[in-house]
Structure 1
Amino acid sequence: MPSDEVLAFQRWYEKAGVRRTPRRLLRPGEDLDRYSFFPRHLIPHMEHPRVLKDPELARYLEAQYLFQWLNFTAHFEVGVVNRATHLISTGRAGIECPPDVQQGAFQIYVDEGYHSLYSLDMVRQLEARSGIDAVPYDFDEYLDGLDAVGHDYPGHGRLVQLLQVVTFETLVTGILLDVPKDPTLIPEVREIVQDHAVDEGTHHAYFSAFFKRLWGTLSVSERQMVARWLPDLILRSLKPATTPTANALRAVGTPEAEIREIIGDSFSPAAVVGGIRRSSVNTVRLFASMGILDDAQTHDAFARAGLAPEEQ
């Protein structure tokens, strides 16, 4: 009987976006002013009084948030997800994986490369059509933060990379859920996010099953070590990127004091933790189903991070 990872890919050649969807092109002559770039309820700083009183600034920040998300997607898929799927697909993950599980990882590798391609493609199309240039994006700050988890255990670098992809690929964020259903958004943006969401459903199933395989190979001491990393991995995976917002505000001449005020008011610790908690429900549920939170110290670590199941 095929493994759970393989079952997720039984119809990959018919269902995967890279196999069945066309290149999403902005329609000729389409007036982007009729549409929003991104759902404003998903942009923390859009409700700030300074932004609300300036429609031109609000429109600009809305576009920049979409550009930021598309650029993040392009970098994350190849820099984090495909870093791990390459290990699995080539038999270098440090655990035994049957050939069909390795092939599933290679199929994800192809999917994620395509997600990166069409994300950057859409940024360039939107820049050309809207006349709004994307503020330069730097992924290194996020990646350095993610890779800092487990840095005290340099001999477990591969394991950390596998845990990164399991954590992120089992999260459920509002973007993939809300954007495709919003008729006020640019149609082609809705289409690529829907394409992405379909593929990510398959990836979620694969990595949920893969984590069970991975967990089963760990020793007791390794499980204790990993359990200590997991809350931090969730927080670092979902921590809002405020630097791109600051850079976007800076690009239009916003004074530094005002930038600090907008960022501080819009990304309060309580709001940030609340958003992370909502997006991580499925991931925490997966970890709990493996008995990881049965250990009192691990449960306390999740609770301190605001991620214990009873808080979800």
Structure 2
Amino acid sequence: MTAPLADPPPAPESWSQRFTLGDWNSHASVRTSHHEYLLPPDVQQQLQTRFWFPPAFLPYLAHPVIQAAGATVMHRLTANHLVHFLDYTTLLEHRIVNRAVETIVHGELPAYVPPRMKTAALQLYTDEGYHALFSDRLASQIADLHGFTERPVMPLRITRMNALIARTTESNRPLAWFLLGFVSETIIARELLEVCRETLVTSVNDMLRDHLSDEARHSRYFCEVFHYLWLTLNNRQRTFTARTLLDIIAIFFEVDEHWLRQSLRGVGVADMDVAQIVGGLTTAQANRQRAQSGVGATLHALEKAGFFALEHNRKLFAKAGLIDG
């Protein structure tokens, strides 16, 4: 007599959350945050002990010329950086990340998209629109406070990403857009986490923490979708993916040299010192070191997806200095 078949074991509870943003209605900042992202009335007093942006993240602030210039110059340079970062974020969310999300929503990728993956993508699209809104709102207030007139300046990173898409064949463009979103969302979560550990002007801190809370979920979602997509790609698409990922990672850790020169000159740093500061940040070694320290979450997602099970991919990333050979 044949024993009756046992019921299959229940799927892990975590599977029910795969390809979702969890309880989005109860956690997304666009649904729950009460912050208005307005500069506090005592902002000048706060700047006696707080910063617009963490100086530790801007190594050029340690240059002797800038240190000697005093707190006013230091605050102006961190304000310059924050406004540029927020203007970049506004463009990134609208024109890059949400374009990547559209490839999921509208079936442009070479894979079937389950309904809950599509729903989460639409929620993520909404989140990113809100991030663009509060980034622009806060950037405008800081720019007005400091009298910035020439903004927004097109960030080099956005220009580089648009150029990457332009040189990609039409058939591979949806995949390239998705990869831009994947790298962006896995990198920015780490960046925001580090920044939020610092003592910043209160409204800046509120905005960054709301952003971080959302991006932690976005990063997980993009990692899961990448894993799912990777399993469906053919050899040609996988080869394209590996090479394109390296190009994208390089873009994310390149210094915006033109903007930085303008920022430094705007506070009176002499051309000779500007050249020295920028020169030290734009070497191939400096770019590689920034990538090595900032791309960990992306590499972890690739490892988990089985990307490095292919020897060619391991060699490619080892040659770029991103993993051990």
TM-score, normalised with respect to structure 1: 0.89
Match of 2:263 in 1: 248
Query: Within the alignment, does 1:19 sit opposite 2:31 as a pair?
Result: yes
- Give SS of 2:47's match: helix
Q: Which amino acid aligns with 1:264?
A: G
- Residues 77 and 113, structure 1, Cα contact 8 Å, conserved in 2: yes
The alpha carbon displacement at 1:273 in A equals 1.8
* Rounded Cα–Cα distance in structure 2 between residues aligned with 1:82 and 1:198: 18
> Aligned-pair RMSD on alpha carbons?
2.2
1:230-309 matches, cutoff 5 A: 230-308=245-323
Map Cα deviations across residues 139-186 of structure 1 (whole Å, 9 max, x no partner).
363223224447253321111001111112122565412332323x20
Match of 1:28 in 2: 41
* Rounded Cα–Cα distance in structure 1 between residues aligned with 2:164 and 2:313: 16
- Could you say if the C-alpha distance between residues 145 and 207 of structure 1 is closer, same or farther in structure 2, counting changes exceeding 3 Å? same
- Could you say if the C-alpha distance between residues 134 and 307 of structure 1 is closer, same or farther in structure 2, counting changes exceeding 3 Å? farther
1:164 corresponds to which of 180, 189, 196: 180
- Give SS of 2:209's match: helix
Q: Which amino acid aligns with 2:115?
A: P
- Residues 18 and 114, structure 1, Cα contact 8 Å, conserved in 2: yes
- Give SS of 1:167's match: helix
Query: Within the alignment, does 1:187 sit opposite 2:202 as a pair?
Result: yes
2:131 corresponds to which of 115, 119, 139: 115
- Could you say if the C-alpha distance between residues 87 and 2 of structure 1 is closer, same or farther in structure 2, counting changes exceeding 3 Å? same
- Residues 90 and 131, structure 2, Cα contact 8 Å, conserved in 1: yes
- Give SS of 1:217's match: coil
Match of 1:5 in 2: 19
Query: Within the alignment, does 1:92 sit opposite 2:105 as a pair?
Result: no
Q: Which amino acid aligns with 1:83?
A: R
* Rounded Cα–Cα distance in structure 1 between residues aligned with 2:202 and 2:266: 27
TM-score, normalised with respect to structure 2: 0.86
Structure 2: gaps (5+ residues): 1-14
Aligned length: 306
* Rounded Cα–Cα distance in structure 1 between residues aligned with 2:188 and 2:38: 27
- Could you say if the C-alpha distance between residues 138 and 93 of structure 1 is closer, same or farther in structure 2, counting changes exceeding 3 Å? farther
- Could you say if the C-alpha distance between residues 297 and 74 of structure 1 is closer, same or farther in structure 2, counting changes exceeding 3 Å? same
Match of 2:141 in 1: 125
Match of 2:10 in 1: none
Query: Within the alignment, does 1:102 sit opposite 2:114 as a pair?
Result: no
- Residues 89 and 132, structure 2, Cα contact 8 Å, conserved in 1: yes
- Give SS of 2:133's match: helix
* Rounded Cα–Cα distance in structure 1 between residues aligned with 2:110 and 2:279: 42
The alpha carbon displacement at 1:3 in A equals 5.9
The alpha carbon displacement at 1:57 in A equals 2.6
- Residues 88 and 97, structure 1, Cα contact 8 Å, conserved in 2: yes
- Could you say if the C-alpha distance between residues 71 and 225 of structure 1 is closer, same or farther in structure 2, counting changes exceeding 3 Å? same
Q: Which amino acid aligns with 1:25?
A: L
* Rounded Cα–Cα distance in structure 2 between residues aligned with 1:295 and 1:174: 26
Map Cα deviations across residues 186-231 of structure 1 (whole Å, 9 max, x no partner).
0111111100000001101110110012112211221122122222
Query: Within the alignment, does 1:146 sit opposite 2:146 as a pair?
Result: no
* Rounded Cα–Cα distance in structure 2 between residues aligned with 1:267 and 1:52: 21
- Could you say if the C-alpha distance between residues 95 and 254 of structure 1 is closer, same or farther in structure 2, counting changes exceeding 3 Å? same
- Give SS of 1:5's match: coil
The alpha carbon displacement at 1:135 in A equals 4.8
Match of 1:78 in 2: 94
Structure 1: gaps (5+ residues): none
- Give SS of 2:111's match: coil
